[in-house]
Structure 1
Amino acid sequence: MKKKDFNIHIIGAGVSGLIAAKVLEANGFCPIIIEATERAGGRVKTDVIEGYHLDRGFQVLLTAYPAAQKYLDLDALDLQKFTPGTVIFNGGKQSIIGDPLRDGSLLFSTLVSRIGTITDKLKVLKLNRLLKRKTLSEIFEEEEKTTISYLMDFGFSFQMINQFFKPFFSGVFLEPSLDTSSRMFEFVYKMFGEGSAALPKLGIEAIPRQLAQSLTRTTFKYNTMVSSIKDGEILLTNGKSLKSDFTIVATDASNLIQNLNRLSTKWKSCDTLYFETKTRVIDKPLIGLITDSGALINNIFFHTSLEMATKPQAELLSVTVVKNHDLSNEALISRVQRELRDHCGINSYKFLKHYSIPMALPELKNIQYEAPPSETHLTSGIFLAGDTQLNASLNAAMISGERAALGVVETINNSILF
Structure 2
Amino acid sequence: MNKLDFKIHIIGAGVSGLIAARVLEDNGFSPVIIEATDRVGGRVKTDIIDGYQLDHGFQVLLTAYPAAKKYLNFEALELQKFLPGATIFNNGNTKTIGDPLRDLSLLIPTLTSGIGTISDKLKVLKLNQLLKKTSLSEIFVKSEKTTLQYLLDFGFSEEMISKFFKPFFSGIFLETKLETSSRMFEFVYKMFGEGYASLPKAGIEAIPKQLLQNLNNTTFKFNTKVTSIKDGEITLDDNTKLESHFTIIATEASSLISNLKNQSTKWKSCHTLYFETEGRVMIKPIIGLIPEAGTLINNIFYHTSIGTYTTANKELLSVTVVDNQNLSDEILIERVKTELKEHCNIHSCKFIKQYDIPMALPKLKDIRYEMLASETRLTTSIFLAGDTQLNGSLNAAMISGERAALGVIETLSSTISSESITSEYR
In 1: Cα distance, 2:175 partner to 2:294 partner: 15
State the Cα distance separating 1:325 from its structure 2 match.
1.9
Residue of structure 1 equivalent to 2:154: 154
Residue of structure 1 equivalent to 2:423: none
In 2: Cα distance, 1:400 partner to 1:324 partner: 31
Give percent identity, aligned residues only. 69
In 1: Cα distance, 2:42 partner to 2:262 partner: 23
Root-mean-square deviation (CA), in Å?
0.9
Secondary structure, counterpart of 1:397 in structure 2: helix
Residue of structure 2 equivalent to 1:337: 337
In 2: Cα distance, 1:102 partner to 1:135 partner: 21
The aligned runs of 1:29-108 (5 Å cut-off) are 29-108=29-108
Residues 304, 312 of structure 1: 8 Å contact kept: no
Paired residue total: 418
One-letter amino acid of the structure 2 residue matched with residue 342 of structure 1? E
State the Cα distance separating 1:417 from its structure 2 match.
6.7
Residue of structure 1 equivalent to 2:309: 309
Secondary structure, counterpart of 2:331 in structure 1: helix
1:257 maps onto 2:271 in alignment: no
Moved over 2 A (4+): 414-418
In 2: Cα distance, 1:234 partner to 1:151 partner: 47
Residue of structure 2 equivalent to 1:208: 208
Residues 88, 289 of structure 1: 8 Å contact kept: yes
In 2: Cα distance, 1:292 partner to 1:107 partner: 25
Q: Unpaired runs of 5+ in structure 2?
A: 419-426
Q: Normalising to structure 2: TM-score of the pair?
A: 0.97
Residue of structure 2 equivalent to 1:164: 164
One-letter amino acid of the structure 2 residue matched with residue 155 of structure 1? G
Residue of structure 2 equivalent to 1:242: 242
Secondary structure, counterpart of 1:37 in structure 2: coil
Secondary structure, counterpart of 2:193 in structure 1: helix
Secondary structure, counterpart of 1:75 in structure 2: helix
Residue of structure 2 equivalent to 1:299: 299
In 2: Cα distance, 1:56 partner to 1:416 partner: 42
One-letter amino acid of the structure 1 residue matched with residue 29 of structure 2? F
The aligned runs of 1:310-389 (5 Å cut-off) are 310-389=310-389
In 2: Cα distance, 1:374 partner to 1:263 partner: 20
State the Cα distance separating 1:261 from its structure 2 match.
1.9
1:197 maps onto 2:200 in alignment: no
One-letter amino acid of the structure 1 residue matched with residue 263 of structure 2? L
Segment drifting more, 319-328 vs 231-240: 319-328
Residue of structure 1 equivalent to 2:5: 5
In 2: Cα distance, 1:90 partner to 1:19 partner: 42
Residues 281, 346 of structure 2: 8 Å contact kept: yes
Secondary structure, counterpart of 1:270 in structure 2: strand
Residues 146, 181 of structure 2: 8 Å contact kept: yes
In 1: Cα distance, 2:324 partner to 2:169 partner: 16
In 2: Cα distance, 1:215 partner to 1:138 partner: 34
Residues 387, 393 of structure 2: 8 Å contact kept: yes
Residue of structure 2 equivalent to 1:185: 185
Secondary structure, counterpart of 2:392 in structure 1: coil
Residues 20, 402 of structure 2: 8 Å contact kept: yes
1:18 maps onto 2:18 in alignment: yes
State the Cα distance separating 1:311 from its structure 2 match.
4.1
State the Cα distance separating 1:324 from its structure 2 match.
4.6
In 1: Cα distance, 2:252 partner to 2:235 partner: 16
Secondary structure, counterpart of 1:346 in structure 2: coil
State the Cα distance separating 1:312 from its structure 2 match.
3.2
State the Cα distance separating 1:309 from its structure 2 match.
1.2
One-letter amino acid of the structure 2 residue matched with residue 28 of structure 1? G
1:226 maps onto 2:236 in alignment: no
CA deviations on 1:90-116 (whole Å, 9 max, x unpaired) are 111100000000000110000011110
In 2: Cα distance, 1:177 partner to 1:106 partner: 28
1:121 maps onto 2:121 in alignment: yes
In 1: Cα distance, 2:102 partner to 2:250 partner: 37
CA deviations on 1:281-337 (whole Å, 9 max, x unpaired) are 001000000010110100000011101113431000000000252111101101101
Secondary structure, counterpart of 1:267 in structure 2: strand
In 1: Cα distance, 2:372 partner to 2:56 partner: 32
One-letter amino acid of the structure 2 residue matched with residue 127 of structure 1? L
State the Cα distance separating 1:414 from its structure 2 match.
2.3
One-letter amino acid of the structure 2 residue matched with residue 349 of structure 1? C
In 2: Cα distance, 1:151 partner to 1:71 partner: 33
In 2: Cα distance, 1:340 partner to 1:58 partner: 17
Secondary structure, counterpart of 1:238 in structure 2: coil
Residue of structure 2 equivalent to 1:133: 133
CA deviations on 1:352-394 (whole Å, 9 max, x unpaired) are 0000000000000000001000000000100000000000000
In 2: Cα distance, 1:169 partner to 1:415 partner: 48
In 1: Cα distance, 2:265 partner to 2:121 partner: 38
Secondary structure, counterpart of 1:208 in structure 2: helix
In 1: Cα distance, 2:96 partner to 2:417 partner: 61
Residue of structure 1 equivalent to 2:424: none
